[in-house]
Structure 1
Amino acid sequence: MLTIAYIGNGKSANRYHIPFSSKVENIKIKKILSPEDQSPWDALPGVEYVKDINEIWNDSDVQLVVISTPPQSHYDLAKEALINGKNALVEKPFSETSEQAKELFALAEEKGLFIQCYQNRRFDSDFLTVQKVIESGVLGEVFEMDMHFDYFRPEVPQSSDTFSPLDSFLYTHACHTVDQVISYFSSPNKVNYDVRQLLGSGRMNDYFDLDLHYAGNLKVSVKSSYFRMKERPSFVVYGTKGTFIKETKDRQEEHLKLFYMPDNKDFGVDLPEHYGTLYYMDEAGRYHEEKVVSEVGDYSRIYQGIYESLVNGKEKIVKDEETIRQIEILEEGIRQMDLNNQ
């Protein structure tokens, strides 16, 4: 049994964590830090809600704390958890700087503790499907991939007249997509940055376009904008023998927002209209155009991996060096944006 506690009782914990940790056999939620008297989220039966964080630090039954608070508090709370002898799972972005990340990983190693970033989108349906197609070999040698994470939410940047790295679009969204790239293709040899504040310097960062370059002329482009009324495809993969286009994103978040939970058998499952399209030439030179049944995404696989690491001693799903490299890329993106604004 792995006994856990949540620091934070908001949308992050209740929408993006608890429905998935609850799916894993032998994980038990004992406590949730909830400083507010009233919460819009229903209380979980059998779980103790506390207002004093020391009730978590001093509970010897709690083996893992999950930090699901606003990003500005992630580093301080993660450090506090380690100092108090607790293993920690930290919501993304893991920290503001790579130096903070290195400090946390070093502290965990010194104390013989586990700390990891919650990179649940490694288990997005669209990303898993892309891997399946690439590994089938039907595309030949892959030399280019475009990834898009678009919205049409102009009210978000328009309502903000200040800038903070941890609240930027780069930190809050590239922390998903850049991690996906690093997890599959490893650390890039070079990164080109186009990070903007479309509404002007000093305002929220609301656009980014990163090109991650690898050996063999492979380029992976990660692009996002708050001003895309018509979303671009989630993934487009180009190879020497064909192309794969996945128009739509993973549906887990869509279902969670509708309070359609993971205990439903069709939770997050793509319908035929969501399937990607594969275009390729076979060995005989014949053209093919086929739909590819989507893989099933499942964010509980992160929690299953954490259970395996803490209880059975298996390797972390999200490696320390992957998290550090991701944050280095985010840091440099903001630095490049600032330089371009001068």
Structure 2
Amino acid sequence: MLTIAYIGNGKSTNRYHLPFSTQLSDKIKIKTIYSRSGKSDWTPIEGVQYTTNIDDIYNDPEIQLVVVTTPSSSHYPLAKEGLLRGKNMLVEKPFTETVEQAQELFTLAKEKNLFVQSYQNRRYDSDFLTVQKVIESNKLGDLLELEMHFDYFRPEVPENSTYSRIDSFLYGHACHTLDQVISYFGEPDEVYSDVRQLLGKGRMNDYFDLDLYYGKLKVSVKSSYFRLTPRPSFILYGKKGSFVKETTDRQEEHLKQFYMPTEADFGVDLPQHYGTLTYMDDDNNYHQEKVISEVGDYSRFYEDVYQTIINKQDKVVKDDQTLLQIKLLEEGTKHLS
């Protein structure tokens, strides 16, 4: 059994973590949740200790893993404090603001024989898993281009925000999509970034377009706050065809409706969400077909963490993958102010 505590009792803990960690009740025990104020709009979980004293976590030898779900600027200091107090640490995205901070945490964990890792749960997004299935079917032939989009129409957010690197759009959202690219394709040969403040200097970063090159393959990671009509979640082009997945993973959609992973159809795509695969086969015959979506499941990330800490399996999110991601985030924002 892996015994867990959370630092933070807001939306991140209650919407994006607890519905999934509690799914593994045969492997994971949630013991303590800390928040500074002790106040929360979320329904308490029976049997869990809620505290305003963080030492209730650090001084409890039963707690093996501490999960940090607080605002981004606190991730590094809290992760460092937890490691120094002898706890394994799982840290929400973005992991840290700088490569230097991330490397310090990885070095400290290694010195103390502890686990520290970023919560890259979107490796288990339905659309991303489906894209992998399509690529590995080889129906597209050699892959030439892949576009990833994560768009919003929320102009009020950048209109009422000022610039902060750790809280920028690039750090807050490319930490998902860049990790997906790095986890599947590895380190790129070249990277070109177009990261903008569409409303001018001093305002939040509200647009980015990152192009990563892997030989002849170009992977584009794009996002904007000003897309009234969102672009497809994924578009793939190969020598023999294309694949378009219009809609994103539905787990977050269901969570916002308080439709939980305990439901059999939680996060499951309906036929209208399936992507379209169009290709020419080896006999030059034309095909167009719907691809049944893979099922996304963020609880798989907690399963990975359990296997690493309890059964000593390798970390799924490698240190060098996180360091590369943060390097690209740093480089992409260095011209902003």
Partner of 2:45 in structure 1? 44
Partner of 1:97 in structure 2? 98
- What count of residue pairs does the alignment treat as equivalent? 336
Q: Is residue 9–residue 35 contact of structure 2 (8 Å, CA) maintained in 1?
A: yes
Residue 320 (structure 2) pairs with residue 325 (structure 1): no
Counterpart secondary structure, 2:266: coil
Counterpart secondary structure, 1:145: strand
Partner letter of residue 41 of structure 2? P
Residue 212 (structure 2) pairs with residue 212 (structure 1): yes
Partner of 1:6 in structure 2? 6
Residue 316 of structure 1 and its aligned partner are, at CA, apart by 0.6
Cα distance change, pair 69–41 in 1 and its aligned pair in 2 (3 A): same
Per-residue Cα deviation, 1:201-230 (whole angstroms, up to 9, x for no partner): 110000000000112x11100000000000
Partner of 2:16 in structure 1? 16
Cα distance change, pair 306–37 in 1 and its aligned pair in 2 (3 A): closer
CA RMSD of aligned residues (A): 0.7
Cα distance change, pair 37–113 in 1 and its aligned pair in 2 (3 A): closer
Q: Is residue 147–residue 236 contact of structure 2 (8 Å, CA) maintained in 1?
A: yes
Runs of 4+ in 1 over 4 A off after TM superposition: none
Structure 2 alignment gaps of length 5 or more: none
Counterpart secondary structure, 1:6: strand
Residue 173 of structure 1 and its aligned partner are, at CA, apart by 0.2
Aligned equivalents of 1:36 and 1:156: distance in 2? 26
Partner letter of residue 284 of structure 2? G
Partner letter of residue 22 of structure 2? S
* 1:257-276 alignment runs, 5 A limit: 257-276=256-275
Counterpart secondary structure, 2:317: coil
Q: Sequence identity of aligned pairs in percent?
A: 66
Residue 286 of structure 1 and its aligned partner are, at CA, apart by 1.0
Aligned equivalents of 1:49 and 1:105: distance in 2? 29
Per-residue Cα deviation, 1:60-102 (whole angstroms, up to 9, x for no partner): 0000000000001000000000000000000000000011000
Per-residue Cα deviation, 1:177-223 (whole angstroms, up to 9, x for no partner): 000000000011111010000000110000000000112x1110000
Residue 155 of structure 1 and its aligned partner are, at CA, apart by 0.6
Partner letter of residue 20 of structure 1? F
Aligned equivalents of 1:21 and 1:320: distance in 2? 23
Aligned equivalents of 2:106 and 2:138: distance in 1? 37
Partner letter of residue 200 of structure 1? G
Q: Is residue 188–residue 212 contact of structure 1 (8 Å, CA) maintained in 2?
A: yes
Aligned equivalents of 2:163 and 2:246: distance in 1? 32
Partner of 1:35 in structure 2? 36
Aligned equivalents of 1:284 and 1:136: distance in 2? 17
